[in-house]
Chain A
Amino acid sequence: MAILEVKNISKRFGATVVLRDISFSMEQGQSMAIIGSSGSGKTTLLRCLNFLERPEKGKIIVGGQLLLDAEDPATQKESEIRRKRLHFGLVFQAFHLFPQYTALQNVALAMELLDREQPNYRKNAKEIDAHTREKALALLEQMGLSDKTGLYPHELSGGQQQRVAIARALALRPDVLCFDEPTSALDPELTGEVLKVIRNLAQQRTTMVIVTHEMAFARDVADRVIFMDEGVIVEEGPAHEVIDNPRQERTRQFLSRYSG
């Protein structure tokens, strides 16, 4: 069964149609790259998945559970959307780490807040906190940041900040982890360390949707690739096929700018 099904998503900002009838699905453990020029709707699509934008039409289904039907207000209750967001994680282009917290606190914060909502939290507070801290430390270790756990975001390089942000997004074990151009705000020397971390996640079969301009990376890491243009999916298929042998003229035009 598909872990994520997106059906007929449409979204407009005022008179501008940003997404037109977008549908795709993905299996558990797959990673999917979304490519396309700026303004093609890639980021808006990710933001719809994370309930940061509300589409006018369409459905989002995770693990068979209908999370959002844009035409059914019963699926859009503010109180439930908060929980539904936990099915997805999002890594932002500009990191958006919390500046007043250390790397470790950034990763642990959301877990701690959810822990405290557990009915038995008060009884076992110490154990639960220690366990959460362990999990956060393990995630930072996985990101190669064991020696940076006590540092604040402004003391970290861009690449390190983005790796903390990835650990933070992984902390709540989302079903689908989304990346919005995770390396676009980084110096070329720093993109490598972030891409390496995402590559490792792909090898561990983390379900991921990655909006990226790194074509070589998309081809090597993603199982499938979607090419978007002007709010529609122009081409979709296995990564090698779409990037090496695109069938559509628009895809070819787009990719030629990268291989040139």
Chain B
Amino acid sequence: MPKTLDAVTLALLGAFRLNGYIFVGTLVIAIPLGLAISFGSMSRFGPLRWFTKTFVWAIRGTPLMLQIMIAFFAPPLLFGIVLPRTETAIIAFGINYAAYFSEIYRGGIESIPRGQLEAGQVLGMTRSQIFRKIVLMQVIKRITPPMGNEIITLIKDTCLARVIAIMEINMKAQQFASKGLIWPLFYSGVFFLVFVGVLTVLFNYFERKLNYFR
């Protein structure tokens, strides 16, 4: 077993790539899916609204760790199909985060003053033009800070993937620990610190970019 700093760093970095993959995959699913869910929860069609709200309640009301296990065990038990592990985790993460994102989106959309919509209507714009040309940019500005929070939480949550034996960084580090080498476990935190540091800089930059209007 490697014991030098270089060797441990390489091993942990290799495992952290999986965390990064789950992170990116989750965002690719959750950012658009969250928008669809938020539209559902704001729908004027009652049954769709209640269905969506129940769905969000179920997702937010149960542990993500349990959801990952269900995503892993349910398809083989119910349908006899086995999905690849990491992609299974991404689907579970994607649905879970979409539920949280949808509430952030809904808050952002509902916070736009009614006068903005009416100004668009009076100028003969369609509903979709009003959303795309007027509402969207203002919503993006308003939800950037809470989205930053969620996205920072996501990279750390990716460790939960180990419950279905995905060899991500936390599991890898613990492997060292179980063989008597304890410091890689502490050291694995540095990878998250650096990753979150970069995210923080990116989000600050993005917020500054959006400061041209109020």
- A100 x B138 contact (CB < 8 A): yes
- B214 x A154 contact (CB < 8 A): yes
Residues on A with C-beta less than 8 A from B212 are 100, 152
User: Chain A 125-164 against B: per-residue CB contact (8 Å), 1 yes, 0 no?
Assistant: 0000000000000000000000000001110000000000
- B121 x A86 contact (CB < 8 A): no
* Interface window among A90-98, A200-208, A210-218: A90-98
- B122 x A98 contact (CB < 8 A): no
The interface on chain A, measured as residues whose beta carbon lies within 8 A of the other chain's beta carbons, has a size of: 28
Report the separation of the CA atoms of residues A94 and B113 in the bound assembly, to the nearest whole angstrom.
11
Interface residues of B in 163-214 (CB under 8 A from A): 212-214
Residues on A with C-beta less than 8 A from B134 are 98
- B115 x A110 contact (CB < 8 A): no
B43 within 8 A of A: no
- A172 x B116 contact (CB < 8 A): no
Report the separation of the CA atoms of residues A152 and B137 in the bound assembly, to the nearest whole angstrom.
14
- B119 x A96 contact (CB < 8 A): yes
Contacting A96 at CB < 8 Å: which of B115, B125, B129, B137?
B115
- A172 x B119 contact (CB < 8 A): no
Q: How far is the CB of A207 from chain B (nearest CB, A)?
A: 16
24 A-B contact pairs sorted by A residue (CB < 8 Å): A50-B121, A50-B122, A82-B126, A83-B124, A85-B124, A89-B122, A90-B118, A92-B115, A92-B119, A94-B115, A96-B116, A97-B119, A98-B119, A99-B213, A100-B137, A100-B138, A100-B141, A100-B212, A109-B133, A110-B125, A113-B125, A152-B212, A153-B213, A153-B214
**What 7 pairs between A and B have smallest CB-CB spacing?**
A110-B123, A96-B115, A96-B119, A154-B214, A100-B137, A90-B122, A100-B213
In the complex, given contacts A97-B119, A113-B133, A169-B122, what are 12 additional A-B residue pairs having Cβ atoms less than 8 angstroms apart?
A52-B118, A82-B124, A83-B124, A85-B122, A89-B122, A92-B119, A94-B115, A96-B115, A100-B137, A100-B212, A109-B123, A110-B125
A interface residues, Cβ below 8 angstroms from B: 50-52, 82-83, 85-86, 88-90, 92, 94, 96-101, 109-110, 113-114, 152-154, 168-169, 172
